[in-house]
Amino acid sequence: MTDPLTAPAVAPYPADPADLFVVLYDELPDSLFRGWRIMEWYGDPAVQNLATKISDAVLEYGELAAEDVGRIIARDGHRGRFTILLGLDIALAHVNPYGPYYQNNAMSWLAYRSEYERDHLLNNPEETAGALLPRCAYPGRPIGLRRKDEFFGVHRVQPEQWETVEHRVLPPAKDAYVNRDRPVPVACAPVLESYEDIQVDFEERHGMTVYRLRPRGSDVLRSRIKQILDRLDESGARLAVLPEATLDDGLLEHWRDLIWQTADRASPLRYLLLGTGPLGGDDPPPNRAVFLDRWTGEDILVQDKLACFILDSRQIKLWRLPNAPADRPAEEYMAPGAKVSLVDADLGRLAVLICEDLTRSMDWERELRACGVSHLLVPIFSKPIMEHRWEHKAAEREVTMLGSWVVVSNSLAVGQAIPAEAMKGDRFTCLVAGPDDLRRATYETSVQLGAAKAADELGLVEVKREDGRIVHELPRVLPGAVQDMWHEHWPAPGDR
């Protein structure tokens, strides 16, 4: 700071940079960001210079004196609050594990890292309600007139949003190292070959026609699971996503036994989404996804499906479901989930959405945007994935809105029942979509469509090399990251 700041503080502002950020962010009205003046402030050299001085003070002393805060706000009002937030944001970028300054020793980043791993937040929950999380994604559209949250390299999650989120941080000892500059191979296996692998029951409950869906725990399916695990280990994939309706309690234990028996730290595979199914003894049961560590078998995340799917009569006819009613819809018989589960890993901030949830964005998108999810894993039970159909459109929407990478994994079961003449076009078993412009100057989206011919095979993408050769390989995602080019007030990494 240039001049001594002697004016008394106008509020008892906290000294901790993260808690101070939360307080000032909440004091700054959202209406300010619906106009254009904020962009004038952001481009003002005086604002940028003062923000840099504030960040230097915070990085040197670990806090910003309340007298300084009070004087700036008393003099400049909301413009002063915005300037302080920019300075705090630069300082907090040094404790963002997904950012370019993380290994800098400034601001006791080791202490902040331990707090982040313990409390799963940057702020102190005893001082400020809700959450402050490090950014690791940015909306996949051109940067222009920014929304309030888009100015900063952290995510402020309001208390009412945080109440509907289950969040954890994987400690380094239980996480996989990911090089942020290299794409990460992803494997998707169909698991289910045909309706012989599943059990579908239609019945009347509570005055409604409902259906139950679960895998058959046959010896054939159990043997196939072992083959799939072997192929996943051999594929070089770091992340695997299996489809919906592939789990029940018995098959989940079978997976855990296999993982325990074959654990090998030489395997690149670390993150494994086993699919979903009716787990537990409740009636109705949840449709629950289980995401675990391939090396240890420990759960990383569990997620219950949030929205029941309704099969209409047209779908029932097209899908040729056995023993289905021909003249009325049937609703999925399950207990809908109430919370969104997130996990921060070295790969990024991951969440799971199950089939129908991907299209019900009004039910969860506010929370996922507030928290800044970098990867959405989406197991589905549906007709084959095709270009420009619902999975493709829904995935591209989330790339644009959230900046997330989206991995959709489907089985072969429904597709095997639909003849080619009833559904013309290329069929795929997985789709991976993500932002294709690192600078966020365009709406470009990367879309990779992969196909597996058998239930124990992995979905491969057709790629044309520069020499004209056609090869088939696993789709890839980029790790979660925050780039200095998204935040003009951040210094170039080499300047720190």
DSSP element (H, E) containing 365: helix 365-371
Rounded distance between C-alpha atoms, residue 107 and residue 120, angstroms: 18
Q: What's the domain count of the chain? A: 2
Q: Is 415 part of any domain?
A: yes
| Whole-number pLDDT of residue 118 | 72
- Quote the Cα angle for 435-436-438, to 5°: 85
Rounded distance between C-alpha atoms, residue 132 and residue 495, angstroms: 26
| Whole-number pLDDT of residue 48 | 97
| Whole-number pLDDT of residue 9 | 42
- Same domain? 164 vs 265: no
- Same domain? 286 vs 409: yes
- Same domain? 338 vs 216: yes
| Whole-number pLDDT of residue 265 | 87
- 416-471 pLDDT, tens per residue? 999 999 999 999 999 999 999 999 999 999 999 999 999 999 999 999 888 889 99
- Same domain? 385 vs 471: yes
| Whole-number pLDDT of residue 58 | 92
- Same domain? 122 vs 96: yes
| Whole-number pLDDT of residue 111 | 61
215: containing domain: 184-480
| Distances, alpha carbon 407 to alpha carbons 245, 392, 422, 447, 463, in Å | 17, 10, 26, 10, 18
- Same domain? 337 vs 285: yes
- Same domain? 109 vs 190: no
Q: Is 37 part of any domain?
A: yes
| Whole-number pLDDT of residue 119 | 77
| Whole-number pLDDT of residue 2 | 36
- At 447 the three-state DSSP class reads strand
Rounded distance between C-alpha atoms, residue 242 and residue 472, angstroms: 19
**Residue 459 and residue 475 in contact, taking contact as beta carbons nearer than 8 Å:** yes
Task: Say which residue the tokens 């980043």 belong to.
Answer: 109
Instruction: Name residue 434's beta-bridge partners.
Output: 446
| Whole-number pLDDT of residue 496 | 58
**Residue 434 and residue 399 in contact, taking contact as beta carbons nearer than 8 Å:** yes
The DSSP annotation for 69-103 comes to: HHHHHHHHTHHHHHHHHHHHHHHHGGG-TTSTTTT
Strand locations in 437-496, DSSP E?
445-451, 460-464, 470-473, 476-477
| Whole-number pLDDT of residue 264 | 87
Low-confidence ranges of the chain (pLDDT < 70): 1-11, 103-114, 117, 494-496
| Distances, alpha carbon 159 to alpha carbons 130, 164, 368, 370, 402, in Å | 4, 9, 14, 11, 20
